[in-house]
Amino acid sequence: MSSDVQHFVGGESVTGRSGRLGDVYNPATGEVSAQCNYASAEDVDDAVAAATLAAKSWAKTSIAKRLEIIFNFRNEFLAARNELAELIGREHGKTLSDAQGELQRAVEAIEFACSMPHLTKGEYSMNIGGEIDNFSIQQPLGVVASISPFNFPAMVPIMMSTMAVAVGNAVVLKPSERVPSAPVELARIWERAGLPPGIFNVVHGDKEAVDALLSHPGISAVSFVGSTKVAEHVYEEGCRHGQRVMAFGGGKNHMIVLPDADLDLVADHFIGAGYGSAAQRCMAISVAVPVGEETADALVERLVPRVEALKIGPYDDTEADFGPLITRQSKQTVERFIDESLSDGAELRVDGRSFELDGYENGFFVGSTLVDHVRPDMSFYREEVFGPARGIVRAGDIDEAIQLVNDHEFGNGVAMFTRDGHAAHRFFEEVDVGMIGVNVPVPVPAGYHNFGGLKRSKFGEGYLFGPDAARFYTKIKTISARWPAPSDNVDGPDLTMPTNE
């Protein structure tokens, strides 16, 4: 077993004071690969104290110097990509190529943070009345917290924190305790880039650490990505303690397929968007919604052999399409959803429940699964199935398909495949979803556009990356200033409501 995974506070690795440890697993083997220190409330206090001290000088550091460090971080990050991919694969289970894809998307957020001077330069209006000038400035909040999920151990922490650092804040990151090593390595990369100690801190742990962050008076804002249940808790607790909160929850992402779509193209995109990373992505396609029985039958005919052909293996198998789930409990949960769908009357087209991999019999693997004739009343449809079991929900027409999307409690992502421009325009105008794809299966925007869902997929204000991130991590001050000439006369007090005349 490797050595313990420690916290990173004030530029140093620290064990913490709680004495609590949690097991970190290799999902492919089911074996414990390390133990991770879990933070207590006192450990969180220490991290916030280090961040608070460092934030005072960082906020006054010139924009030029901050940008220099962001550029350095980008270069150091690129140099460390192979090492990071290895850490991600070992603890998450995703293939090395998938981990490299995650890291490439993270680069977009780093590069976009370099646009911070433009996003925070404020406004100025001269002589609004009475020779008064109005102008606004944006300043950092101070110390902010980021609570990141297991499914993107590097990308999401970077998307949460890079703009926060660029605009002058200090960050306390609480990554998933399932994948603690890559986030610690990010802290070391920041250190090599020249970031002052205390600006990027990492504390590990479970609900105790999360709740300590949400109730801490020294935390001004918190970002979260995870399940809807926890996102709602983070939102309510953070707001209750006066924090600014953006919390992103689950999704049930539909792919609507109109009869005029290229079904071979649709099938390929459904496989990639539905089963990549063992479907442990909040933007993974969960269900296909073919319009019309003929379309549905033709699509299923194309999907079945593609699903059966998917190769499953450990992260370092270069031929594997995807790997294991993150925990044994996750594996059991996905298999339970499959069982329930069959009890509810769905039809199993490809069954991955009995999958076993030679040499990895104790791994957390679920084989690729396809369930047809799923109905909206089934738990398989209502809930987010975070694993490689995808469904087919048949719709009679486009009206029914759009209604399916809008009736669901989640509104994270959705896609439509069609050659009909009018239908596509109606689709993105009417669906109540935050991120929409037209012939694009995973509509995650580029790093310079806002990311976020609607309905119960998102709580609070702010977006994960994009231009709104700079607003979320800053406070705005608006100044009214006048500089009277020495010869100006003072006529005494005026108690009427001030105007700009």
Q: What is the pLDDT of residue 1?
A: 43
Q: What is the pLDDT of residues 289-328, one digit of tens each?
A: 999 999 999 999 999 999 999 999 999 999 999 999 999 9
pTM here? Answer: 0.93
Confidence label for 134 from pLDDT (cuts 50, 70 and 90): very high
Domain that holds residue 105: 7-249+457-479
Nearest to 141 by CA among 244, 254, 246, 31: 244
Q: What is the pLDDT of residues 60-107, one digit of tens each?
A: 999 999 999 999 999 999 999 999 999 999 999 999 999 999 999 999
CA distances from 491 to 424, 488, 494 (A): 65, 10, 8
Q: Convert 58-118 into a string of H (helix), E (strand) and C (coil).
A: HHHCCHHHHHHHHHHHHHHHHHCHHHHHHHHHHHHCCCHHHHHHHHHHHHHHHHHHCCHHH
Q: What is the pLDDT of residues 265-284, one digit of tens each?
A: 999 999 999 999 999 999 99
Do residues 80 and 225 share a domain? yes
Phi, psi (deg, nearest 5) at residue 6: -100, 165
Nearest to 426 by CA among 258, 235, 180: 258
Q: What is the pLDDT of residue 177?
A: 97
CATH number for position 140 = 3.40.605.10
Q: What is the DSSP string of 364-424?
A: -----EEEES--TTSHHHHS---SSEEEE--BSSHHHHHHHHHHSSEESEEEEE-S-HHHH
Is residue 94 included in any domain, yes or no?
Answer: yes
Is residue 25 included in any domain, yes or no?
Answer: yes
Do residues 189 and 295 share a domain? no
What Rg do the C-alpha atoms of the chain give, in angstroms? 25
Is residue 65 included in any domain, yes or no?
Answer: yes
Q: What is the pLDDT of residue 3?
A: 56
The proportion of the chain whose per-residue pLDDT surpasses 70, expressed as a percent, equals: 99
Do residues 237 and 267 share a domain? no
Report the number of distinct structural domains present in the chain.
2
User: Distance (Å, rounded) from C-alpha 453 to C-alpha 459?
Assistant: 9
Kindly state the average pLDDT of the residues 376-392.
Answer: 97
- The catalytic residue positions are 282
Kindly state the average pLDDT of the residues 446-461.
Answer: 88
Do residues 475 and 414 share a domain? no
Q: What is the pLDDT of residue 450?
A: 85
Q: Is the pLDDT of residue 433 over 50?
A: yes
Kindly state the average pLDDT of the residues 454-465.
Answer: 89
Is residue 493 included in any domain, yes or no?
Answer: no
